[in-house]
Amino acid sequence: MSLHVVWLKRDLRLSDHEPLRAALLSGLPVAIVVLFEPSMERLGSHSERHRTERLRRCAALKQELAAVGATDALAVFSGEAIDVFAAIHERFGIASILAHEETGVEATWMRDRAIALWCRHQNIPFVEFPSGGIVRRLSSFSTWEERWLAHAEASIPDVDLSILARRGVHLGDALQTLDVVPAEGAGTNDALRMLTDWLGHGHRGYRRAMAQPALAERHCSRLSAHIAWGSISVRQVWQCSKDQGIDRASVASFRSRLRWRDHFIQKFEGRPSMEYRNVNPAFDATRTTLVPHTLSRWEQAETGYPLVDACMRCLQTTGWITFRMRAMLVSFVTHHLWQPWQAASDTLASLFIDFEPGIHYAQMQMQAGTTGLHTLRIYNPIVQAEDNDAQATFITRWLPELARLPVPYRKQPWLLSPIEAAMLNFRLGIDYPERIVDVETTGRHARDVLWQIIRSDASRRHAARILATQVVSKTRRP
C-alpha cells in the first residue's frame, strides 16, 4: 500500500485546507498526522500551555472525524519528524507528504528543510501549499495587499471528509500515539460559534474597550488562539465577518487587524532574522546587558507597578491579555528596566496561548523601539493605569493583596502615608513590592538614548535600506 500523509502543523483544522483536499482528491489512501516533536518542545518559546492547546485541538479534530466515521484517520505522534515519517514509510510506503508552508521560527524552518532533503533521498514528493495569504518568495510587496484580498475573498473549496471513511488509514498502532485531552472549545465549530457570538453582541464598543484590560476580555474577539493554531483560517473569519455586526466601525477595525496579522507574518517570512537580531542594527550596541534579578522581578510580577504586575499574573493564569497591555509589558521591561527584548521574548511567547512567531517578534521589536521605523512609544504604567483601569477593577482582580486599599492607592500604593498604611494594615515591601525603578527617571533615560540612535545617520541609513528591502522575501533563510 502507498498513502498520502497530510501533515498538520499550525493548521489544525479539516476545512479550508488545500493539502487535505488535494490528498483526498488523489484517489490514494490518506493519513492525517500531527507531531509533537521533542526538539521543538525544547525551544524557549514553547511551553506546556502550547502543548495542551495543540492536544486539545487534536482531540477536537478526532471528534470531527468521528462524525464521518473516520476517527482513526488522524494519528498523533510523539517523535522527531524524520523518525516518524521514516517509520510510516517503512511500514506503509509514503506516496507524498502534503503540508502548508510554515512561517515559523528558525528551528521549524530548518526542520522543514531537513524533511525536504529526506524526502528527496526517498523519492517522496514533499508538497508545501501556501498558507493563507502569505506568499513565499514574494518578489514585490506592491501588489501583496491585492493578492491577499483576492485570497481572502475567494470562495473556499469544500473538503469532502466522508472520503476518509473509505480511504483514511489507521497509523495509530505503528508508533507510539499520545492520549489526547478533552476537546471542548478547541474545534473549528467552537471558533465559528465564538465569532458569531462576538459579531452578535461582544463587538459593540470593541474599539474603545480594546485598550482597557478589564473590558477587552469581553469586547475583543478572543479568536487569537484559534487562529494561531489554525483551528480556523483567517479567510474563514474574514468571510464570516463580512457585512456583519451593528457597530460597523468596530467590525471594520477587527477585520483590518486580520490583514495586519498576515502583513506581519509576510514580513517575518522575508526577514526571519528578526527572531534574534534587531531589525535596525544601529541599536545593536545598546541595552545589551541582561540582569537576571531585574528580569526575574518582571517575570514574577514583582515590579511594584500594579498594572504591570496584574498583567503578568493575568497572563500567567490565562495566557491572554489585550494588545495595549502586551505593549506596555514589553515597554516596561525594555525601556524602564533596560533589558534586551531578546531576554523577554521567550517568557512572553511561552505565556501567550496564541503565540504566533510572525506577530510576536515584530511586535517585540516595535515596542522595544529597535526597528527605527516606527514611533517610539514608552508607556508610563501609572498613566496607563489611570487611563485604562481607572477604577482599578483589573488590578484588584489580579492583585487581591491591594484590594483593601482605596482605589487610587491600588494603582499607586507607594503614595500611602505611613499613618494611612498603618491604619490599613498594609506594609509596602512586604504585602506588595516596592517599585523596582522610578519610571519618570527610566523613561527619560530610555527616551534620550533611543532618540539619539533614531536620529543618527547610521539608523537612518539602515532604516532606508530596511524599507527598500523588507518587501522582498526572496531572502528567506538559505
Ligand X SMILES: Cc1cc2nc3c(=O)[nH]c(=O)nc-3n(C[C@H](O)[C@H](O)[C@H](O)COP(=O)(O)OP(=O)(O)OC[C@H]3O[C@@H](n4cnc5c(N)ncnc54)[C@H](O)[C@@H]3O)c2cc1C
- List contacts with ligand X (CB under 6 A): 220-224, 227-228, 254, 257-258, 260-261, 264, 322-323, 326-327, 330, 352, 354-356, 359-360, 363-364, 367
Residue 427: how many CB atoms within 10 A of its CB?
Answer: 10
Are 415 and 385 in contact by the 8 Å Cβ rule? The answer is no
Among residues 331, 333, 336, 305, which one has the least CA distance to residue 442? 336
Output the smallest distance, CB 224 to ligand X, in A.
3
Among residues 81, 76, 88, 95, which one has the least CA distance to residue 3? 95
Residue 255: how many CB atoms within 10 A of its CB?
Answer: 17
Q: Which is nearer to ligand X, 359 or 453 (CB)?
A: 359
Q: Which is nearer to ligand X, 248 or 474 (CB)?
A: 248
Output the smallest distance, CB 311 to ligand X, in A.
11
Output the smallest distance, CB 129 to ligand X, in A.
20
DSSP H or E segment with residue 458? helix 457-469
Q: Which is nearer to ligand X, 72 or 389 (CB)?
A: 389
Q: What residue spans of 93-187 are helical by DSSP H?
A: 106-122, 144-153, 162-167
Output the smallest distance, CB 262 to ligand X, in A.
8
Q: Which is nearer to ligand X, 224 or 388 (CB)?
A: 224
The three cell numbers of residue 258 are: 486580520
Distance, in Å, from the CA atom of 205 to the CA atom of 219, rounded to the nearest integer, reads 7
Are 312 and 329 in contact by the 8 Å Cβ rule? The answer is yes
Q: Which is nearer to ligand X, 258 or 308 (CB)?
A: 258
Q: Which is nearer to ligand X, 80 or 145 (CB)?
A: 145
| CA separation, residue 448 to residues 335, 349, 455 (Å) | 11, 29, 11
Q: Which is nearer to ligand X, 53 or 72 (CB)?
A: 53
3-class secondary structure, 327: helix
Q: Is 223 exposed, middle or buried (0-12, 13-18, 19+ CB in 10 A)?
A: buried
Output the smallest distance, CB 77 to ligand X, in A.
26
Q: Which is nearer to ligand X, 358 or 413 (CB)?
A: 358
Output the smallest distance, CB 86 to ligand X, in A.
32
> Which residues, including other chains, have CB under 8 Å from residue 146's CB and lie 6 or more apart?
none
Distance, in Å, from the CA atom of 454 to the CA atom of 413, rounded to the nearest integer, reads 35
The three cell numbers of residue 161 are: 471528509
Output the smallest distance, CB 21 to ligand X, in A.
24
3-class secondary structure, 162: helix
The three cell numbers of residue 127 are: 508538497
Q: Which is nearer to ligand X, 71 or 224 (CB)?
A: 224
Output the smallest distance, CB 325 to ligand X, in A.
8
Output the smallest distance, CB 365 to ligand X, in A.
9
